[in-house]
Structure 1
Amino acid sequence: MKRRFLYLLISCMVLASTSCDDEFLERTPTDAIAASDALATTANMRLVINGLHRLLYAQSQVILPGGSSTFSGEHYWITSDDAMVGNVIHSAPANGWLRDELQWNAHSLPTDPINFHRWYQRYHIVASASAIINKVEEDAIPVDDELADILGQAYAYRAYAYYDLITHFARGYLIGNPASDPGVPLQTGTEPPYTSGPRATVQEIYDQMRADINESISFFEQASARCTGTPDCKSNLNINVAHGLKARIALSSGDWATAAASAVEARQGYPLMSESEWKSGFNTNSLPEVIWGSNVISTETVFFRSYFYLMSNTFNGSQNRGNPKLFNAEMYNQIPDTDYRRDVVLPLAPNTNPSANNDQGGSADVDPNYDDQARFEFVADSIRTVYGTDGLGHNLHPYMHYKMKNKNPGTIDPDDIILMRSAEMYLIEAEAEAMQGNIPAAQNALQELVGSRNSAYNAALFATQADLMDEIKLQWYVELFGEGFGYENHIRWDQPLDLTNSGADPTYYGDGFMQAAPSVNDDWIWKIPQAEIDANPNLTENNQN
Structure 2
Amino acid sequence: MKIFNKFRFSLSLILVILINFSCSEDFLDNVPTDAISAEDALSSPENMMLVLNGLHRQMYSQAQLPGSSSSRSGESHFIPSLDAMGGNIIHSSPGNGWMTSDLQWLTHTNPTYTTVYNFWYQRYHFIASSNSIINTVLGGDFTEGPELNNILGQAYAYRAWSYLRLVTTYAKGYIIGNPSTDPGVPLVFATASPYDSAPRATVEEVYNQMEQDINEAIGYLENASSPANKSHISLNAAYGIKARIALSKGDWQTVVEAAALAREGFPLLNKSQWLSGFNTYDLSEVIWGGRVIDSETNYYQSYFYYISPTFNGSQNRSNPKIISSELYNMIPETDYRSEAWLPLAPNTNPSASNGKGGSYESDPNYDSEDEFWDAWSAIINKYGMTTGHNTHPYMTVKFLQKNPGTIDPDDVIYMRSSEMYLMEIEALAMMNQISEAQELLQEFGESRDSAFEASQFATQDELMEQVKFQRRVELWGEGFSFHDHIRWDDPLDQSNSGAAKVLYQDGFFQERPSQNDDWIWKIPQAEIDANPYISISDQN
Select the residue among 346, 355, 366 that pairs with 2:362: 366
Matched residues in 2 for 1:544 and 1:255: separation? 28
Q: Return the offset for 1:12.
A: 3.6
- In 2: Cα distance, 1:304 partner to 1:429 partner: 36
Aligned residues of 2:79 and 2:477 also touching (Cα < 8 A): yes
Name the aligned partner's letter for residue 537 of structure 1: P
Is structure 2 residue 51 aligned with structure 1 residue 55?
no
2:336 pairs with 334, 340, 346, which one?
Answer: 340
CA distance in 2, matches of 1:8, 1:107: 26
TM-score by structure 2 length?
0.95
> SS where residue 4 of structure 1 aligns?
helix
1:256 matched residue in structure 2? 252
* Structure 2 counterpart of 1:273, from 260, 269, 276: 269
In 1, are the aligned partners of 2:313 and 2:407 still within 8 Å (CA)? yes
* Aligned counterpart, 1:478: 473
The residue identity in structure 2 corresponding to 1:6 is: I
Please point out which of 499, 519, 531 is paired with 1:504. 499
Match of 2:522 in 1: 527
> How many angstroms apart in 1 are the aligned matches of 2:78 and 2:19?
26
Deviation at 1:140, TM superposition (A): 4.4
Deviation track 1:125-145 (CA, whole Å, cap 9, x = no partner) reads 000011101111111433210
Q: Which letter does structure 1 place at the counterpart of 2:507?
A: G
Q: Tell me the distance in 1 between the aligned counterparts of 2:231 and 2:405.
A: 26
User: Equivalent residue of 1:200, what SS?
Assistant: strand
Q: Could you tell me how far apart the structure 2 residues matched to 1:387 and 1:88 are? A: 20
Q: How does 1:140-159 map to 2 (within 5 A)?
A: 140-159=141-160
> Aligned partners of 2:406 and 2:473: how far apart in 1?
27
Cα drift, residue 58 of structure 1: 1.1
d(CA) in 1 for partners of 2:306, 2:407? 12
Deviations 1:207-265 (A, max 9, x none): 000000000000011112224xxxxx100111000000000000110100000110000
Q: Partners in 1 of 2:234 and 2:138 — Cα distance?
A: 21
**Number of the residue aligned with 1:230:** none
Task: Measure how far apart 1:14 and its partner are.
Answer: 6.1
Deviation at 1:36, TM superposition (A): 3.3
Q: What letter is aligned with 2:148?
A: L
Provide the C-alpha distance between the structure 2 equivalents of 1:343 and 1:127, rounded to a whole number of angstroms: 43
* Structure 2 counterpart of 1:173: 174
Which residue identity does 1:43 align to in structure 2?
A: E
SS where residue 173 of structure 1 aligns?
coil
Q: How much has 1:274 moved relative to structure 2?
A: 1.1
Superimposed CA distance per residue, residues 396-419 of structure 1 (whole angstroms, 9 cap, x where no aligned partner): 100001000011110100000000
Identity %: 55
How much is the aligned-residue C-alpha RMSD, in angstroms? 1.5
CA distance in structure 1 between the aligned counterparts of 2:68 and 2:303, rounded to whole angstroms: 18
Q: Are the aligned partners of 1:53 and 1:294 in contact in 2 as well (CA < 8 Å)?
A: yes
Give, in angstroms, the shift of residue 170 of structure 1: 0.3
Q: Is the 8 A contact 2:18 2:37 kept in 1?
A: no
2:382 aligned residue (386, 393, 409):
386
8 Å contact from structure 1 (residues 381, 390) kept in 2: no
**Kept after mapping to 2: 8 A contact 1:256/1:435:** yes
CA offset digits 1:489-524 (Å, max 9, x no partner): 011101100001111001110000000000010000
Q: Distance in 1 between matches of 2:19 and 2:74?
A: 20
Q: Are the equivalent residues in 2 in contact too, given 1:60–1:71 (CA < 8 A)? A: no
Instruction: Report the Cα distance in structure 2 between the residues aligned to 1:458 and 1:402, rounded to whole angstroms.
Output: 27
- State whether residues 364 and 373 of structure 1, in contact with CA within 8 Å, keep that contact through their aligned partners in structure 2: yes
Aligned residue in 2 for 1:416? 411
Cα deviation, 1:83-126, whole Å, max 9, x if unaligned, reads 00210000001100101100000000000000000000000000
Q: Provide the C-alpha distance between the structure 1 equivalents of 2:438 and 2:421, rounded to a whole number of angstroms.
A: 11
What's the counterpart of residue 5 of structure 2?
Answer: none
- Alignment pair present for 1:435 and 2:430: yes
Report what 1:20 is aligned to: none
Partner of 2:223: 222
2:390 equivalent among 392, 395, 409: 395
- SS of 2:78's partner is helix
Measured in 2, the distance between the counterparts of 1:8 and 1:172 equals 32
CA shift, 1:156, in A, is 0.5
The answer to whether residue 531 in structure 2 is matched with residue 536 in structure 1 is yes
The answer to whether structure 1 residue 100 and structure 2 residue 101 are counterparts is yes
Q: Which residue of 2 aligns with 1:206?
A: 207
1:368 alignment partner, SS class? coil
- Measured in 2, the distance between the counterparts of 1:376 and 1:34 equals 62
Residue 6 of structure 1: CA displacement?
A: 1.0
Query: SS of the residue aligned with 1:183?
Result: strand
> Is the counterpart of residue 197 in structure 1 residue 193 in structure 2?
no
**Aligned-pair CA distance for 1:457:** 0.2
8 Å CA contact 1:294, 1:416 repeated in 2: yes
Deviations 1:317-360 (A, max 9, x none): 10000001001111101111100000111111100010000110
Secondary structure of 2:126 counterpart: helix
Are the counterparts in 1 of residues 13 and 128 from structure 2 also a CA contact under 8 Å? no
CA contact (8 A) 1:14 1:44 kept: no
Deviation at 1:277, TM superposition (A): 0.4
Equivalent AA in structure 2 for residue 185 of structure 1 = P
- Aligned equivalent of 2:29: none
Which residue in 2 is equivalent to 1:21? none
Of 237, 249, 256, which residue of structure 2 is paired with 1:241? 237
Asked whether the equivalents of residues 85 and 487 of structure 1 are also in contact (C-alpha less than 8 Å), the reply is yes
Q: 1:5 aligns with which of 13, 16, 19?
A: 13
TM-fit CA distance, 1:390: 4.2
Give the Å deviation of 1:307.
0.5
SS in 1 for 2:49: helix
Q: 1:291 is paired with a residue of what secondary structure?
A: strand
SS of aligned partner of 2:261: helix
Does the 8 Å contact 1:79/1:307 carry over to 2?
yes
- Equivalent residue, structure 1, for 2:28: none
Cα distance, 1:67 vs structure 2 = 2.6
Change (3 A) 1:250 1:271: same
Any residues of structure 2 matched to 1:294-309 within 5 Å, and which? 294-309=290-305
- Deviations along 1:362-403, one digit per CA (max 9) or x if unpaired, are 111111111111111111101110010142x10010000100
**Deviation (angstroms), 1:180:** 0.4
State the partner residue of 2:307.
311
The verdict on how the C-alpha distance between 1:222 and 1:83 changes in structure 2, with shifts beyond 3 A counting, is same
| Maintained 8 Å contact 1:159/1:212 | yes
Amino acid across the alignment from 1:59: Q
**Distance in 1, Cα, partners of 2:86 & 2:218:** 33
**Of the candidates 421, 443, 447, which is equivalent to residue 448 of structure 1?**
443
Residues 1:45 and 2:48 aligned together: yes
Q: How far apart, CA to CA, are the structure 2 residues paired with 1:244 and 1:235?
A: 14
Paired residue total: 526
Query: Structure 1 residues 458, 418: CA separation in 2 closer, same or farther (over 3 Å shift)?
Result: same
C-alpha contact 1:308 1:315 (8 A) present in aligned 2: yes
Task: Within 5 Å, give how 1:19-34 maps onto structure 2.
Answer: none
Choose the corresponding residue for 1:349, options 340, 345, 350.
Answer: 345
Runs of 4+ in 1 over 6 A off after TM superposition: none
| Unmatched runs of 5 consecutive residues or more in structure 1 | 18-23, 228-232
Q: State whether residues 443 and 462 of structure 1, in contact with CA within 8 Å, keep that contact through their aligned partners in structure 2.
A: yes
Q: Which amino acid aligns with 2:15?
A: Y
> Any conservation in 2 of the 1:14–1:38 contact (CA below 8 Å)?
no
Aligned to 1:464: 459
Distance 2:283 2:190 in 1: 38
Question: Structure 1, residues 419-439: CA drift from partner, whole Å, max 9, x if none?
Answer: 001000000000000000001
